[in-house]
A and B are shown apart, each in its own frame.
Chain A
Amino acid sequence: MQTLGLAVEHYVFLAGVIFTLGAIGFLVRRNVLVQLMCIELMLNAVNILLVAFNRVYPANMVGQIFAFFIIAVAAAEAAVGLAIVLAFYRLKGTVMSDEGDSLKL
């Protein structure tokens, strides 16, 4: 137990759990806001993996820099996604994804 958190397998397992939780939440929840938060969970799980594997191969910083860019893209995605949620709410009066069926004939 001395090496807890010093082996890459611990991080892979943890990231798998968090990613699966996020994916299940995205599929099961109907609130668009919660679905966006679940997307953030999945992105964070991938960030853990990138930084952990960068620790295994520390010759260069590519993993951490990739995670840095993922954080930047996630921030942009959250801004645009929440703007879309606002427009959706103005249109439908709710934020439940079930109600977004205007393209369905």
Chain B
Amino acid sequence: MNQVGSVFFALMAGLSLLGAVGTVSARNPIRSAVGLLVTIVGIAGLFLRLSAQFMGAIQLIVYAGAVVVLFVFVVMLLGPDASKVPAGPPRGWAARAFAGVLMAAFAIGGGVLVLGARDGLTLFQPVAPEHGSVELVGRELFTKMLVPFELATALLIVAVVGAIAVARSHEPKGKAKPVKLAPQALFHGPLHPRDAGHPLVKERA
């Protein structure tokens, strides 16, 4: 039984690592989304190994079913032109340097972890079969965590309304005349004060 579980863990861990590498390194955003999908399926498998069946199901439904699909929709909506790499050298050397520092920090932390693991691992104790089941998590969620749960619903509805408000196109209506220096004028005119015709900048002679 443990043998099967070990093989399952190795498979799912490899799957999630493979997907993560693919997400970060793929040139095409669609391939990044597929990498994210593979990672999420792998992590759902890991949740099963951790006897968190409810979390595994939620992971698959919410992430693989909703979030990744949303990403794919947006990638398809924007088309391939949106992801064209602009000419010129990449900016942001500081971010790259910080990425290097992060990698070094992880190397040190991982080394410490591996060295510490030689003294003996923190093995899981046997757990009741209903650990992580829908009943147990649901009872906890609807008794002790009721207020945060209801607040999460408010958060989701606000997020959806906000997403609609942000993504809607702000085409001026036929009757309403755009006022000079209204936010619309600022956002539809030249964007940058250094561009000619910007309303905040006096025209230079």
Which residues does A use to contact B, with CB under 8 Å?
A: 1-14, 16-18, 20-25, 27-31, 33-34, 36-38, 40-41, 44, 47-48, 51-52, 54-56, 58, 60-61, 64-65, 67-69, 71-80, 82-87, 89-91, 93-96, 98-99, 102, 105
Query: Which B-chain residue is minimally distant from A54 (CB atoms)?
Result: B52
Give the A-B contact count at a CB cut-off of 8 A: 256
Judge whether B55 and A51 touch: CB under 8 Å: yes
Judge whether B33 and A37 touch: CB under 8 Å: yes
CB distance from B49 to the nearest CB of A (A): 5
Q: Which of B1-36 contact A (CB under 8 A)?
A: 2-3, 5-6, 8-10, 13, 16-17, 20-21, 23-24, 26, 29, 32-33, 35-36
| Interface 1/0 per residue, B134-147 and A, CB below 8 Å | 00110011000100
Chain A residues, Cβ within 8 Å of B62: 71-72, 75
Judge whether A71 and B63 touch: CB under 8 Å: yes
Judge whether A72 and B6 touch: CB under 8 Å: no
Interface bracket on B: 35 or more
What's the dominant secondary structure at chain A's contact region? helix
Q: Is B205 at the interface (CB under 8 A from chain A)?
A: no
Given known A-B contacts A38-B23, A48-B46, A6 and B39 have beta carbons under 8 A apart:
no
Q: When chains A and B are docked, how far (Å) is the Cα of A52 from the Cα of B50?
A: 6
